[in-house]
Amino acid sequence: MKKLIAEFIGTLWLVLGGCGSAVLAAGFPELGIGFVGVSLAFGLTVLTMVYAIGHISGCHLNPAVSIGLWIGGRFEGKELFSYILAQVLGGIAGAGILFLIASGKPGFELGGFAANGYGEHSPGGYSMISALISEVVMTFMFLFVILGATHSKAPKYLAGLAIGLCLTLIHLISIPVTNTSVNPARSTSQALFVGDWALSQLWLFWLAPIIGAMIAGLLYKYLSPEKVK
C-alpha cells in the first residue's frame, strides 16, 4: 500500500506540474514559459519525485514504465496492475486539482487542457502515423535511459538527473507532434476532462507508449540482463 500511495502522489505531481505549466503558464502574455518551460516542468516533476519516492516505489509514475521494467526483468508482474491503477488515479487527481485552479480565472475555457492528440488536434498538425512513430520512439528512448540509469552497475544517485533530463529532451522534441504523452496515465487524466476527440484518440497514447516500452525492455534485457531484486 505504501508503494501505491507513493505512485499516486508522484503521478499526481507529474500531471499537476507538467500539464499545469502548459495550461497555466505556457502562453501567459509576455512572460509565458513556452515549449521549453513546459519541457523543463515535466522533467523536473520526475527528477524531484525520483529522490522523493524512488526508495519507496521505484518512482514509475507511468504505466508504460512499469510494463517496460517488467518486460526487462526489473519489476514483479504481480504488482503491475495495482501500480497502473494507482498511476491512473493519481493522474486523474492531478488533472482535477489543475481544473479547480484553472477554472478560477474569469472567462475560463477548458480548451485542449494539455491533452494529447494527432491530426487537427496535434499542436503542429501532424498525422496519426507521425504521432504513432513519435510516441513509440520517444517512449523507447525513455525506457532505455531508465533501464540504464537504474542498473546496478550505473553511477549511484545520478539516475534521477538522467531520467529527468531525458524526459525534458523528449518534450522538447515531441510537444509539437502530440503534446508529448509517453505516459498513458498522463494522457488519460487530461482526456477525461476534455472528452470528445481526446477520448476518441486516447487509444494511441496507450498503445504506442506500451509498444515502445516493451521493445526497450526486451532489448535492454538482452544487452544487460539484471533480475528483479
CA distance 60 to 49: 9
Residue 134 lies inside a defined structural domain of this protein: yes
H or E stretch at 90: helix 80-102
Count how many domains the chain has. 1
Q: What cell numbers appear for 42 in the block?
A: 515535466
**Is 228 part of a structural domain of the chain?**
no
Kindly state whether residue 76 falls inside one of the protein's structural domains.
yes
Q: Check which CATH number belongs to the domain holding 150 and give it.
A: 1.20.1080.10
Give pLDDT, residue 108. 87
The grid cell for 117 is 492528440
Structure-derived torsion over alpha carbons of residues 138, 143, 145, 149, reported in degrees to the nearest 10: 160
Within a domain: 180 = yes
Q: Could you tell me if residue 67 is inside a domain? A: yes
C-alpha cell at 139: 517512449
CA distances in angstroms from 29 to 22, 26, 33, 125, listed in the order given: 13, 9, 10, 23
In a domain, 177, yes or no: yes
Structural domain of residue 47, as residue ranges? 2-104+115-223
Query: Is 110 inside any structural domain?
Result: no
3-class DSSP state for residue 183?
A: coil
For residue 229, what pLDDT is reported? 52
Residues across the chain: 229
pLDDT by residue for the chain (229 residues), tens only, comes to: 899 999 999 999 999 999 999 999 988 887 889 999 999 999 999 999 999 999 999 899 999 999 999 999 999 989 999 999 999 999 999 999 999 999 998 988 888 899 999 999 999 999 999 999 999 999 999 999 999 999 888 887 899 999 999 999 999 999 999 999 999 999 999 999 999 999 999 999 999 999 999 999 999 998 887 766 5
The pLDDT, as a whole number, for residue 44 is 96
The Cα–Cα gap between 98 and 93 comes to 9
Instruction: State the pTM of this model.
Output: 0.93
Does 138 fall in a domain? Answer: yes
